[in-house]
Structure 1
Amino acid sequence: MGIQGMELFAIGVVVILFVAVLKQFGILEPMSMEDSSDSDLELSTVRHQPEGLEQLQAQTKFTKKELQSLYRGFKNECPSGLVDEETFKTIYSQFFPQGDATTYAHFLFNAFDVDRNGSIRFEDFVIGLSVLLRGSVTEKLNWAFNLYDINKDGYITKEEMLAIMKSIYDMMGRYTYPTVRDDAPSEHVEKFFQKMDRNRDGVVTIDEFIETCQKDENIMSSMQLFENVI
């Protein structure tokens, strides 16, 4: 997989893996009639109860039935109503038994944990998923930028990009052909900054990131691939 391919993968992998996770745990299965009682998204036995259905419909681009289906799958796997980081890492490790998905899962978990409390609520999960699957190109790129911006200061540094790229190579490297060289992540980061750091100040801003991605046909194609998976 070449440099351009890894750049495309780095942005598109989030959606690919979440679709895989959803299907693995039956979250995308059709809703049966007896499940209609979940329409208000209430579950008295869980520790965290999500917001009302109407509010989540307003915050996402999912229909009522889609939200019901997503919630049933979520609560079946997470009866507490919350997903902690270790559970998140365990889910991802199942898809990459020959690689190490731990670090990438950590970065991805932080991108979904919007209130930084160490857990992902159903609301966090479904709002993020809505952006990835149904959002506009700009919304998806904003989400991807947030993933790369590890310390959430509004800039992507070379150190942050290298950490993300190393985590992706750790997770996928054994599946690539030819075998990935040890210096491949660093090479990718240099090419990334040559392309995106327009004013050469050593960091990439959200404006630089979005502008560059929007001019890349491969990245734009990846943004459209998973809009109809649910």
Structure 2
Amino acid sequence: MSAMNKKKIQNLAEEIIKRVKRFNKAEAECLIRLFNELMGDQPVTGRVIHGLDRGMFRNILHKTFGMTDDLQMDGVFHAFDKDNDNFVSVKEWVEGLSVFLRGTLDEKIKYCFDVYDLNSDGYISREEMFHMLMNSLIRQPIEEDPDEGVKDLVEITLKMMDHDHDGRLSFADFAKAVKEENLLLEAFGTCLPDDKSILEFEQRIFQD
């Protein structure tokens, strides 16, 4: 790596850690270098899109963190992609990983809600719950109508989490339910890495 690139990475890391409190400067630099590797070290020109596209990002989630659900991986991509340009920039990458790997409960609640709000309208609807739960449940071939079981589960979940009884989950509903019962954080599917995956990732990336 040239001195110029090294200096650029150091400056970028300093800028990012002013907003991201979960990583120190050395860790931020490691994550920026990893991002550059994943991007294939593309030349810096105005015509190059500087970001991970959906396919590259999903590949990372699958290979590194063992995620397999397409719907959840798309949701994680959108939660990282704050400016909705269909690419995860280097800043979005480090900021997203700060919550993904080391977030507080409040940060994870906001992150999970963003993942589950599939159409980004500020609510988790019955339809969204149905699609996510249907994807995450193992279908039993002996069931005559597995969709009915999912619909029942949606109604049970709503009864538990829909505090204002409007038939959908607002962020306030979701946050209140999770704070009362932390296990509800990933109620609609796995969208956070397990402790083993986090440890392996951090040992590999931060070993220097």
TM-score, L = length of structure 2: 0.70
Contact 2:126 2:168 in 1 (8 A): yes
Q: 1:103 is matched with which residue?
A: 71
Superposition deviation, residue 120 in structure 1: 0.8
Cα distance in 1 between the residues matched to 2:56 and 2:124: 27
From the superposition, tell whether residues 94 and 217 of structure 1 become closer, same or farther in structure 2 (CA, over 3 Å): closer
Superposition deviation, residue 109 in structure 1: 1.3
Percent identity between the aligned chains?
A: 26
Q: 1:117 is matched with which residue?
A: 85
From the superposition, tell whether residues 179 and 108 of structure 1 become closer, same or farther in structure 2 (CA, over 3 Å): farther
From the superposition, tell whether residues 192 and 39 of structure 1 become closer, same or farther in structure 2 (CA, over 3 Å): farther
Superposition deviation, residue 188 in structure 1: 3.0
Superposition deviation, residue 88 in structure 1: 2.5
Q: Deviations over 1:55-80 (max 9, x none)?
A: 21111120111111112222112224
Q: Deviations over 1:177-228 (max 9, x none)?
A: x8896335433322221111112111111111111101114357x99x74x7
1:57 paired with 2:17, answer yes
The unaligned stretches of length 5 or more in structure 2 are 43-49, 203-208
Q: Deviations over 1:33-61 (max 9, x none)?
A: x99x735417xxxxxxxx82222111112
The unaligned stretches of length 5 or more in structure 1 are 1-33, 43-50
Q: 2:56 is matched with which residue?
A: 87
Q: Deviations over 1:10-37 (max 9, x none)?
A: xxxxxxxxxxxxxxxxxxxxxxxx99x7
Contact 1:89 1:101 in 2 (8 A): no
Superposition deviation, residue 95 in structure 1: 7.3
Match of 2:125 among 157, 170, 187: 157
Match of 2:31 among 31, 48, 70: 70
**Letter paired with 1:87:** M
Match of 1:130 among 98, 109, 113: 98
Q: 1:38 is matched with which residue?
A: 6
Cα distance in 2 between the residues matched to 1:140 and 1:180: 37
Superposition deviation, residue 126 in structure 1: 1.2
Superposition deviation, residue 103 in structure 1: 3.0
TM-score, L = length of structure 1: 0.64
**Letter paired with 2:15:** Q
Contact 1:39 1:53 in 2 (8 A): no
Contact 1:82 1:121 in 2 (8 A): yes
Instruction: Give every structure 1 segment of 4 or more consecutive aligned residues whose post-TM-superposition deviation is greater than 6 Å.
Output: 178-181
Cα distance in 1 between the residues matched to 2:57 and 2:141: 28
Q: 1:196 is matched with which residue?
A: 161
